Amino acid sequence: MAIAAAYTHLKAWPRDALVVSSAANPNGVIGGSGRIGQKHQIAALMDSLAPHYSDDFWFLSYHAMALSEDGQLAVARAKIEQSLAANPNNAHGAHGFAHVCYEGGELDAARTFLTTWLTTYPREGFFYGHLSWHLSLCEIQAGEWTRALRLYRDAMALDRHSGGPQQKMSDGAAFLWRSELAGHPRDAAAWRALYDYANAALPRPGSGLADLHVILAQAVIRDDAALDARARQMEELAREGRYRPALTFRLRRGASRRSNTGIFRRDRGARPAHRGK
């Protein structure tokens, strides 16, 4: 099993950063497993590896992310500040800071930091689109819709996002859906573009986070046949031990709850979920 293999490997080679990143990423080997308690498991793993990394700025950023996902916000904040102090241009540090602030409800701190930090980060840099997404969530929550929409059009639209296909899909769909939850009108053309993109770039399931947003686009477009096909593919992978069974059930059940006014039932005045990606 991949998780067990990662632990065995890291016991022998704790400074193998590639394996650490695969294990500690929120959507990585452990985070993508669907296990109950996986957030705490990642945080405990990073705690155990910390003595091998001392003040390494990259490790501190990943450690802080893991702690923030586990709800340990005070210690996470200290570590992410240490990471950024060691290397202010560290994109992993900027990402971790965005997560720590979002989880802690520090809206102004996140907006101020990201607005300034992104001005010196390369427009084609991998994190530019995703960090712009983080900033857009802050702007939506602050009631700054014009600024949020500008960020979407400049850095998250399919022809502008600097990340890969899964990140483009997740960030684009998440922004559009959270915008609707905040009371802003549906952008039918943008949803159609994401739906078409998913069909071309992500035709089969593989990553739970990306698949969630593919299904979201399919449901907005009301393509029931595509939803059913995706669900069957995910269930087939789950039977083979290559996908999270609980996720396939939740997504199929959620997609079946479409109402006449939207794909999932929405309470009037609903706000974006507090947790980040």
Could you tell me the two tokens for 243?
Answer: 């996908």
**pTM > 0.75:** yes
Cβ-proximal residues to 165 (8 Å cutoff; 6+ apart), any chain? 197, 201, 202, 210
pLDDT digits 0-9 by tens, 45-101? 999 999 999 999 999 999 999 999 999 999 999 999 999 999 999 999 999 999 999
Distance between CA 62 and CA 93 in Å, rounded?
A: 8
Task: Of 130, 91, 132, 101, give the one whose Cα is nearest residue 115.
Answer: 132
Tell me the fold of 1-104: 1.25.40
Domain residue limits, the chain: 1-104, 128-277
Rounded to 5°, angle at Cα 158 from 157 and 164: 120
pLDDT value at position 126?
95
Could you tell me the two tokens for 277?
Answer: 């990606």
Neighbours of 225 (CB within 10 A): 8
pLDDT digits 0-9 by tens, 97-119? 999 999 899 999 999 999 999 99
Distance between CA 26 and CA 23 in Å, rounded?
A: 8
pLDDT value at position 31?
82
pLDDT value at position 173?
97
pLDDT value at position 33?
75
Could you tell me the two tokens for 118?
Answer: 């992104």
Asked whether the beta carbons of 262 and 180 are under 8 A apart, the reply is: yes
pLDDT digits 0-9 by tens, 145-159? 999 999 999 999 999
DSSP 121-140: S-TTSHHHHHHHHHHHHHHH
Distance between CA 242 and CA 38 in Å, rounded?
A: 17
Could you tell me the two tokens for 264?
Answer: 């999932």
| Model confidence band, residue 245 (pLDDT cutoffs 50, 70, 90) | low
